Amino acid sequence: MIEQPQYSDGIRQAKQTRFQGLNHNEGAGDGELFRMKNLCSDWFPLLATRPKRRLYKTLEKPNGLYAWEKLCWADGTSFYYNGVKKGDVADSRKNFAAINGYIIIAPDMKYYNIYDDSFGSLEVSTTQDVTFKDGTLYGEAATRNTIQAAGVNWADWFRPGDAISITGSTNNNLSAIIREIDGEEMRFYEYSFTNGSDTGVSITREVPTLKFVIENENRLWGCNDTTIFVSKLGDPFNFNVFDGLDTDSYAADTGSAGNFTGAISFMGYPTFFKERKIYKVYGSVPSNFEVLGSSTLGLAEGSGGSLAIAGERLLYLNRNGMCMFTGGIPTPVSRAFGRERYKNAVAGSDGLKYWVSMQDMSLKWHLFCYDSQRGQWHEEDETELVGTAYSDGNLYLLSADGKMWITGNIQDPPESEEEEDFEWEAEFTDYVDDSPDKKDLRKLLIRMDLDEGAECEVWLQLDSDGEWFQPQDGKLEDETKRSYYLAIIPRRADHYRLKLKGLGGCRVYSITREISIGSPFKSLPGRQ
């Protein structure tokens, strides 16, 4: 704000040329934005509307969005990769991870391989009539190490290195690791079994059901409510291989109160969250893995989808508001929201900006954008997000109504439809003009640039009376970048508010107010 010298008649001007982000606090300073809709920081220090989004696709029942080489998503009970259906999943919200060409779909614990186009379950099971017998291993005779099932090709189900669980046998209900597969024979280390024949034996490669999955250092990590699970190195199919090797699986129960609420790989560490705890896993192999927790601002229940990295900092929703995490103690970054509280957040990032959809306590949805370079929050609209993905330089937002939008600084978008002109609004906080006395707002000079066909309305409110009124010529419609002069019939007030609202693209360069400061009292009976 630049204050100009007072004229001899007591009238002075105040010029605003820098427009910050949202500040939904009653104590905000003159000219800060108390409420807004569809604004952005792209043109800072200007006040500007956000860029138009592009509609890429519409789903029937959106359940999740992800990108690994290409976009993939869950639509109802179908999983799609690059627009083609690849398999069936449960009709529920999804969490995804990628490792060695496999896209992992949780909590279904299914996979899609982008290289060989295969789709299936990480856990497999078959029931067969089998014989436990002596056999061979690595070309040498071996004792009590073979499972044979006539006419069965075990390679259709399992692979060497898989840890399997055997149930339904008379003497061999146990777990073991497959060392070789040769047609109808599976071979293990010697003395694994008691020889004999059984009918109806179930053989299963078991995989835990995980709420959240991530990839870190060529392992699939995940958690259910209480336990962290880690796959065998490079092998997302095996969570029960314990050979005493560096490639083994791993599991750890934290023992603390509360359930896990989310997980992410951050700064090279698998990081797991509860509402009051953050756990980081240190170490490079199972023998030196160490799970260390800190009692701090954790992740709110129902907001596991809010974890996203912008400007090399991790942002997420805590029960008390938005937090920023750099690996040490989280820092609250929710001052802009005032006393408002939010829940059920889903977010995404293009690397520098962070978009998050949250539900307030009245169950209304809000889509905010945080600019990590400027530390500013801007509110866009009431979109409820289901998932986000960053692919080929573009951020995709999947909304609850099935629309898949491309947003932000869009780069070479695929075939898509540009959004229509949208409504926008900027309501400033109270202006008191550094004076506790009554004052008259006499003139407004607004310099702005409107897109073709766009319009802007100017509204004023005095002394928080709830009544908005338009000054003369308060509707602006001109595609030329210029200043608009608005004369205002003087009405004395302790404070006043300014609101701009419109349709179509707009950029405001400056707002100059001409005011007259009076006494703390009404000068004449009945005078406003």
Q: What is the full DSSP assignment across 240-300?
A: ---SSSTT--EEEE---SS---EEEEETTEEEEE-SSEEEEEE-SSGGG-EEEEEESS-PP
Going by C-alpha positions, the residue among 254, 267, 265, 329 that lies closest to residue 298 is: 329
**CA end-to-end span of the chain, whole Å?**
27
Output the pTM of the full model.
Answer: 0.93
pLDDT in tens, 349-379: 999 999 999 999 999 999 999 999 999 999 9
Contact between 145 and 178 (Cβ < 8 Å): no
CA-to-CA distance for 5 and 18, rounded, in angstroms?
19
Q: Max alpha carbon distance in the chain (Å)?
A: 113
Q: What is the DSSP string of 377-443?
A: EEE---PPEEEEEEETTEEEEEETTSEEEEESS--S--S-EEPPP-EEEEEE--B-TT-SS-EEEEE
CA–CA dist 220, 213 (Å, integer): 7
403-444 pLDDT tens trace: 999 999 999 999 999 999 999 999 999 988 777 878 888 899
pLDDT tens for each residue of 25-67: 988 887 789 999 999 999 999 999 999 999 999 999 999 999 9
Query: Which two three-digit tokens encode residue 192?
Result: 């694994």
Please enumerate in sequence order all residues whose Cβ is within 8 A of that of 123, keeping only pairs 6 or more positions apart, or say none.
109, 204, 205, 206, 207
pLDDT digits over 256-265, tens only? 899 999 999 9
Per-residue pLDDT tens for 333-353? 999 999 999 999 999 999 999
196: left (phi over 0), alpha (psi -120 to 50) or beta: left
pLDDT score at 420: 96
Give the span between the Cα atoms of 218 and 221, in whole angstroms: 9
The bridge status of strand 376-379 relative to strand 385-391 is: unpaired
Domains of the chain: 2-51+424-517 (2.60.120.260), 124-205 (2.40.30)
Residue with tokens 């949250």: 358
CA distance 498 to 461: 7
C-beta atoms surrounding 273 within 10 Å? 27
Any idea which residue has 């496999």 for tokens? Answer: 102
DSSP 8-state code for residue 156: G
Q: What is the pLDDT along the chain (528 residues), one digit of tens a residue?
A: 444 455 545 688 889 999 999 999 988 887 789 999 999 999 999 999 999 999 999 999 999 999 999 999 999 999 999 999 999 999 999 999 999 999 999 999 999 999 999 999 999 999 999 999 999 999 999 999 999 999 999 999 999 999 999 999 999 999 999 999 999 999 999 999 999 999 999 999 999 999 999 999 999 999 999 999 999 999 999 999 999 999 999 999 998 899 999 999 999 999 999 999 999 999 999 999 999 999 999 999 999 999 999 999 999 999 999 999 998 899 999 999 999 999 999 999 999 999 999 999 999 999 999 999 999 999 999 999 999 999 999 999 999 999 999 999 999 999 999 999 999 999 999 988 777 878 888 899 999 999 999 999 999 999 989 999 999 888 998 778 898 888 888 788 888 899 999 999 999 999 999 988 766 655 444 444
DSSP symbols for 28-77: PPTT-EEEEESEESTTTTSEEEPPPPEEEEE-SSEEEEEEESEEEEEETT
273, amino acid identity: F
In angstroms, the CA 346 to CA 387 distance is 7
Query: CA–CA separation, 237 vs 122, rounded Å?
Result: 5
Q: Is the peptide bond before 45 cis (omega within 30 degrees of 0)?
A: yes
Is 62:387 a contact under the CB 8 Å cutoff?
A: yes
Q: Do 388 and 398 form a contact (C-beta atoms < 8 A)?
A: yes
Quote the Cα angle for 229-230-234, to 5°: 155
Instruction: Determine the Cα–Cα distance for residues 215 and 192; give it in Å rounded to an integer.
Output: 33
At a CB cut-off of 8 Å and minimum separation 6, what does 328 contact? Answer: none
8 A C-beta contact, residue 91 and residue 447: no
**pLDDT, position 488:** 86
Q: Two tokens at 68?
A: 């690994």
Fill in the amino acid letter for 337: F
